[in-house]
Amino acid sequence: MEYRHGSHNAYDLKYHVVFCTKYRYRILTGEVATRCRELIREVCKSNYVEIVSGSSSPDHIHLLLSVPPSLSLSKVMQYIKGKSSRKLLEEFEHLRKRYWGCHLWARGYFAVTVGNVNSEDVQRYIEQQEHHHKQDNFKISEY
C-alpha cells in the first residue's frame, strides 16, 4: 500500500467526486473541456491534491482525488469549481452569454470516500465513463 506523506503525517484519503454544469448544459467539449482540465490540474497541484483519475463528459466531471488531511473536501471543491468557473467564463465569450449569472457549475457535488479495496474499481469506472454514456441500455423488467 502506498501512503502519501506530509511533514508530520502519512495518509491515504481518496474521494470520488462528481459535479455537473449548471442546467446540465453540454458545454465541456473541445477547447472548453481541455482548458477546464488544465484549470483543475492547476488548482489541485497548488493545493497538493493528487488527481488519481479523472474523466470529463459534456455535462459533468468525475474525479478520484487524494486529498491531504489539512484540507477539507468542501474547500477543495470550492477551489476547483470557483477557479474553473471564473476562468472559463473569462476566456470563452459563448459561455458568458449562456451563463450570464456567472455560475458555470450546478450547486453542490457528489462525493464518496474510497478505500483500498475498491479504488481500482472506481478508477476503472471513471475511465470508462465515455463508453458508459454512449450505451443505451435502459431495460424494463416485468418484476
- In this predicted model, what pLDDT tens digit does every residue of 19-44 receive, in sequence order? 999 999 999 999 999 999 999 999 99
Average pLDDT, rounded, for the chain: 89
The pLDDT value given to residue 55? 95
**pLDDT tops 90 at residue 131:** no
Q: What is the mean pLDDT of residues 1-15?
A: 88
The pLDDT value given to residue 53? 95
The pLDDT value given to residue 51? 96
**pLDDT tops 60 at residue 143:** no
**pLDDT tops 60 at residue 142:** no
User: Which of these is catalytic: 79, 99, 125, 143?
Assistant: 125
Q: Specify the CATH architecture of the domain 4-130.
A: 2-Layer Sandwich (3.30)
Residue 131 · residue 57 · CB < 8 Å:
no
pLDDT tens sequence across 42-54: 999 999 999 999 9
**pLDDT tops 80 at residue 6:** yes
pLDDT tens sequence across 82-121: 999 999 999 999 999 999 888 999 999 999 998 765 677 7
* 3 a catalytic residue: no
d(CA 44, CA 92): 22
